[in-house]
Amino acid sequence: MFKNFKEIKLNFLDFFKSKDHIVLDGSSLVPSENDKSLLFTNAGMNQFKDFFLGKKKIIYDKVVSIQKCLRISGKHNDFNNIGYTNRHNTFFEMMGNFSFNSYYKEEAIIYAWELLTSKKWFNIPKENLFVTVHISDIYSYNIWSNIIKIPKYRILVLGKSNKLNVNSLNEDNFWMMSKFGPCGTSTEIFYNYLNTDKIINFDLNLKKNNYLEIWNIVFIEYNFCSDNILVNLFNKFVDTGIGLERISSVIQKVNSIFKIDIFTNIISIILYEFKIKLNNFNKNFIYIISDHVRSIFYLIIEGIVPSSDYRGYVLRKLIRNVLVYIKLIKIKKIYLFSLFKSLITNLPDIFVLNNLSIYNINYIKNIIDNEEKKFFVSLENSINILNNYLLKLDNKNYLDGKLVFLLYDTFGLSLNLIVELCKLRNIKVDINKFKYLLEIQKKKSKLTKLINFSNLNLNKNKYIFNTKFYGYSDLLELDSIIKNIYVNDNEVNKIDSNFKNCSIVLNKTIFFPESGGQVGDKGFFVGLNNSFKFIVENTKIFNSCIFHIGYVEYGLLKINDIVKIMYDIKNRIRLSCNHSSVHLLYYSLKKNLGKNITKEGSRIKDFLITFDFSYNKKLSIKQIFDIESLVNNIISKNLLMIENIFKKSPSLNDDNKFIIFNDEFIRKIKFGNFSEENCCGTHVKNTSVIGLFAIINEYSLSNNIRRIEAVSYDSAFKFINNQRNILNKISNLLLVNNKELYNRILLLIKKCKILKNKNKDINNLCLSYFLNFFSLKDIIKYKNINFLIKNLNINLDDNFSYFFLKYLLNYWKLSFLIITVISNKKKNILIFFDKNLKIDLNNFLKVIIDMINIFTKIKLIIKRNIFLTKIILENYQFCIDKYKFIENIKLYFSNVYF
Ligand code: SER
């Protein structure tokens, strides 16, 4: 029996309702303000992120939802696939069931299988289904194999290692919402359209196109934190996603999402409006348009307007893309909004939200019309430029990548447009060369990016030596020899001040390379007789080879030159003080909070220490004080640092001791009987050098992980001085001494509250006074808007005006009002808009300001916040010519739809 899109949705919800799930509405396409990690909602689980992370108390047990998603940016971006594959959409609806520490792997898999295969529900033949699991998830494998009884050859195990770590994050069957955040392994269900009898070996790569991923079941157990650590969450969650369009294509037995009922409806309207038939030439373009119209519609309805960056840019790109494809299909004079109007009128199920009124439709029209107008001219220009180039081609069948790049880079033509226009003329485009040139350009533009070690062209034979490291000794300078020179990722023989991003490898060094959380040393090298100077901005290590990264200040550096190298001593002392403080802090944390706490990571910079550790509560002020005091107590004991280096194997040459950054040696750092840790960092010789240690911040990083920020040495004294300065400033302001400060502030807060209440009373009094100047007759009605224009020759205080105007607007349900008042002896024109008035405010304001300009012929000062505009006039006498104004405004609105 045929099931339409809507019935499939209802079926899904009903199934999970029968399994005691609560039905929740999907969230907005625009993620919440606090979630900066996403441009658009890209999965059903987005709205539950804070529950997963333990930031919000769990209030659900089992939930089912249908979520509008957009995958057009960030980690999940399907933009370039649209129209060319049978399974991608920019906008789609994702159905999902979720468990919050209720059921887990077994039920999640059993539910999915029942819904997909049961005759009562989706009735998909079992023989066409295949599954994948992550290599670490034997449990799910066994459920598929032993309980569901899927033949083993239909279960594909993906992923590299069964021990999960940060490398697992990019593997198949490991799902993350964005670059950071909740994540976990997944098991996925695939559908194969073909007769699958003959398949004896399920291999996604061999026949990828025949396998359609229909259901992703994720077991959320971890949080990947922004400082690259994977931590266990306190609870376990199930997060599943089943693309409504995809599953509909399976249930409706068509082999592409563009052939399901809602798309055939959209496409037939497009064809009708364009007065064309679907053919092989226009098919992909029509698919792209049919995909984009849905995204455009929902983005506009969410209040997004086209712009040159962020979300508005995505909307602009989609609208422009549609216009490009319309042009490519050679539809002349199509007016994009008429297509939308037709879609909205004919497909209310897809294009009409609950309360889409004529008012919203005109809002959509304004946006689309404006964008179309703006883009039309530049589109025509681009096409002319390309046509001219194509005419001049020597080889009439081939467009060189260099030319493509020129058109793209200099004239701003999109690759899509170039390729499609060439296709129409049977001209081949060298896309590979274009991509290569684009890469080179990207590399060039990474101005300050430091050398990227993973791309480094290492000639292994040249690395028979390792850089010897003398950085733990007392040496402040050292003579050394240049062994290799790199510019960006390429090896060269010499460099001068014209090169950026240079790195130098020496035979030996005292510069500490970034490791163990400690940042790399800075400093400089000079040549014999000061013939050159190289500034080192950072030091890094790769394969026991130490790279000094920076630039030439003067002179010429060559391979085999002798150099005198010196690190920045002040910087090194700060890093050493901070590193030793971190060891003492770790000791103190264990003493004060219990020995079970573990170090989760640390970062040691010149002016700041961050230290992450496992603990489940916010630290009290007393705990912070005790932790800090113990560290300072140890510092004051004048303890010597004791360094012990052990060879792991006795056969190792002692000389290798200078190559400490490898696995062959263990270095232990000890301070008295207090702290002992394996460590490769630099440390103070005596704790007294540190002087002082201070904790400046403590907060939660994720569930059960806390972070301490601290300072030591001169930064600690500066910190205390800053605090004192702040206190002094406040005391001076309040004319009390520091001791009385607290009570004085309490008193002030009380007084503020009293004043606020008085202010309210005064505002209300004023309000009744000002209201006397208005009457119902002042309201002008036109179409379905009410507005008010009034000359008031009275003084109105700036602070009061906002309150007053807002009151008027709400009281009389106005769309906007314009009044003149006097403020600071000047005439002010105040224009206040209802925030729900969905017209192009800028445009409307322009019209008003033009009118005022005509009437006053003087320069205006305009101050705006979103809904209140203030125009200040020098001319004290000015009065609005109300009738002309009203006439003009009506004229304006007669062309704008609501
Ligand atoms: N979050 C997963 C996905 O989007 C499962 O819902 O694929």
pLDDT reported for residue 562: 95
Ligand 1: does its nearest atom lie under 6 Å from the Cβ of 239?
Answer: yes
pLDDT reported for residue 655: 52
**553 has which bridge partners?**
none
Q: Ligand 1 mean position to 617 CA, how many Å?
A: 31
* Residue of 213, 239, 245, 247 to test ligand 1 pocket, by largest number of atoms within 8 Å of CB: 239
Q: Ligand 1 mean position to 416 CA, how many Å?
A: 29
Of ligand 1's atoms, which has the minimum distance to the CA of residue 69?
A: 4
Q: Ligand 1 mean position to 352 CA, how many Å?
A: 27
Ligand 1: does its nearest atom lie under 6 Å from the Cβ of 112?
Answer: no
* Residue of 240, 245, 247 to test ligand 1 pocket, by largest number of atoms within 8 Å of CB: 240
Of ligand 1's atoms, which has the minimum distance to the CA of residue 44?
A: 6
C-alpha separations of 676 from 123, 240, 641, 644, 668 in Å: 64, 46, 10, 10, 7
- Whole-number Å distance between alpha carbons of 339 and 331: 12
Ligand 1: does its nearest atom lie under 6 Å from the Cβ of 96?
Answer: yes
pLDDT reported for residue 451: 39
For β-strands 155-158 and 129-134, DSSP reports them as: parallel
Q: Closest Cα to atom 3, ligand 1: which residue?
A: 241
**491 has which bridge partners?**
486
Q: Ligand 1 mean position to 212 CA, how many Å?
A: 15
pLDDT reported for residue 458: 43
pLDDT reported for residue 460: 38
275: region left, alpha or beta (phi > 0 left; psi from -120 to 50 alpha) = left
Q: Ligand 1 mean position to 776 CA, how many Å?
A: 55
Ligand 1: does its nearest atom lie under 6 Å from the Cβ of 216?
Answer: yes
The residues, any chain, with a CB within 8 Å of residue 476's CB and separated by 6 or more, are 510, 566, 567, 569
Ligand 1: does its nearest atom lie under 6 Å from the Cβ of 243?
Answer: no
> Which one, of 420, 798, 472, lies nearest residue 642 by Cα?
472
DSSP state of 512: P
Of ligand 1's atoms, which has the minimum distance to the CA of residue 218?
A: 5
C-alpha separations of 289 from 298, 386, 889 in Å: 14, 23, 37
C-alpha separations of 225 from 83, 309, 601 in Å: 35, 27, 11
- Whole-number Å distance between alpha carbons of 885 and 848: 8
* CB 49 within 8 Å of CB 67: no
Q: Ligand 1 mean position to 218 CA, how many Å?
A: 7
Q: Ligand 1 mean position to 169 CA, how many Å?
A: 15
Q: Ligand 1 mean position to 123 CA, how many Å?
A: 23
HSE (CB half, 13 Å, CA atoms) of 126? 10
pLDDT reported for residue 356: 57
What is the DSSP annotation of 191-248?
EE-S-GGG--S--TTTTGGGEEEEEEEEEEEEEE-TTS-EEEEEEEEEEEEEEHHHHH
Q: Ligand 1 mean position to 456 CA, how many Å?
A: 36
Helices 431-445, 401-409: axis angle to 10 degrees equals: 50
Ligand 1: does its nearest atom lie under 6 Å from the Cβ of 632?
Answer: no
Q: Ligand 1 mean position to 243 CA, how many Å?
A: 9
Low-confidence ranges of the chain (pLDDT < 70): 33-34, 73-76, 195-200, 205-209, 227, 308-309, 353-359, 410-412, 441-465, 489, 543, 648-664, 702-703, 854-866, 896-898
Of ligand 1's atoms, which has the minimum distance to the CA of residue 43?
A: 4
* CB 301 within 8 Å of CB 360: yes
Ligand 1: does its nearest atom lie under 6 Å from the Cβ of 523?
Answer: no
> Which one, of 116, 88, 122, 128, lies nearest residue 257 by Cα?
88
Q: Ligand 1 mean position to 48 CA, how many Å?
A: 12
641 membership: H or E segment, kind and range: strand 641-647
Count of helix runs (H) and strand runs (E) in the chain = 21, 37
Ligand 1: does its nearest atom lie under 6 Å from the Cβ of 240?
Answer: yes
Ligand 1: does its nearest atom lie under 6 Å from the Cβ of 43?
Answer: yes
Ligand 1: does its nearest atom lie under 6 Å from the Cβ of 681?
Answer: no
* CB 433 within 8 Å of CB 406: no
Class of residue 295 by CB neighbours under 10 A (exposed 0-12, middle 13-18, buried 19+): buried
Please work out, in degrees rounded to the nearest 5, the angle formed at the alpha carbon of residue 466 by the alpha carbons of 462 and 471: 145
Q: Closest Cα to atom 4, ligand 1: which residue?
A: 43
Ligand 1: does its nearest atom lie under 6 Å from the Cβ of 266?
Answer: no
pLDDT reported for residue 408: 79
For 143, phi then psi, to 5°, come to: -65, -45
Q: What is the largest CA-CA distance in the chain?
A: 102
* CB 184 within 8 Å of CB 221: yes
Ligand 1: does its nearest atom lie under 6 Å from the Cβ of 45?
Answer: yes
Q: Ligand 1 mean position to 219 CA, how many Å?
A: 10
pLDDT reported for residue 877: 75
- Whole-number Å distance between alpha carbons of 391 and 443: 32
Q: Ligand 1 mean position to 42 CA, how many Å?
A: 8
- Whole-number Å distance between alpha carbons of 832 and 818: 7
- Whole-number Å distance between alpha carbons of 320 and 372: 8
* CB 820 within 8 Å of CB 812: no
- Whole-number Å distance between alpha carbons of 194 and 813: 61
Q: Ligand 1 mean position to 354 CA, how many Å?
A: 27
Q: Closest Cα to atom 2, ligand 1: which residue?
A: 241
Ligand 1: does its nearest atom lie under 6 Å from the Cβ of 184?
Answer: no
For 363, phi then psi, to 5°, come to: -65, -45
pLDDT reported for residue 718: 96
For β-strands 609-614 and 641-647, DSSP reports them as: unpaired
Ligand 1: does its nearest atom lie under 6 Å from the Cβ of 218?
Answer: yes
Ligand 1: does its nearest atom lie under 6 Å from the Cβ of 175?
Answer: yes
pLDDT reported for residue 661: 57
pLDDT reported for residue 437: 81
- Whole-number Å distance between alpha carbons of 702 and 202: 39
For 813, phi then psi, to 5°, come to: 50, 55
- Whole-number Å distance between alpha carbons of 416 and 398: 16
Q: Ligand 1 mean position to 89 CA, how many Å?
A: 15
- Whole-number Å distance between alpha carbons of 741 and 677: 44
Class of residue 754 by CB neighbours under 10 A (exposed 0-12, middle 13-18, buried 19+): exposed
In the sheet that holds 779-782, the strands lie side by side as 779-782, 785-795, 816-823, 826-833, 868-873, 861-864
23 membership: H or E segment, kind and range: strand 22-25
871 membership: H or E segment, kind and range: strand 868-873
Class of residue 149 by CB neighbours under 10 A (exposed 0-12, middle 13-18, buried 19+): exposed
- Whole-number Å distance between alpha carbons of 268 and 260: 12
Which structure tokens are listed for 492? 């060269």
> Which one, of 567, 560, 562, lies nearest residue 479 by Cα?
562
What is the DSSP annotation of 851-865?
HHHHHH-S--EEEE-
Is the pTM above the cut of 0.75?
no
- Whole-number Å distance between alpha carbons of 456 and 490: 7
- Whole-number Å distance between alpha carbons of 893 and 814: 15
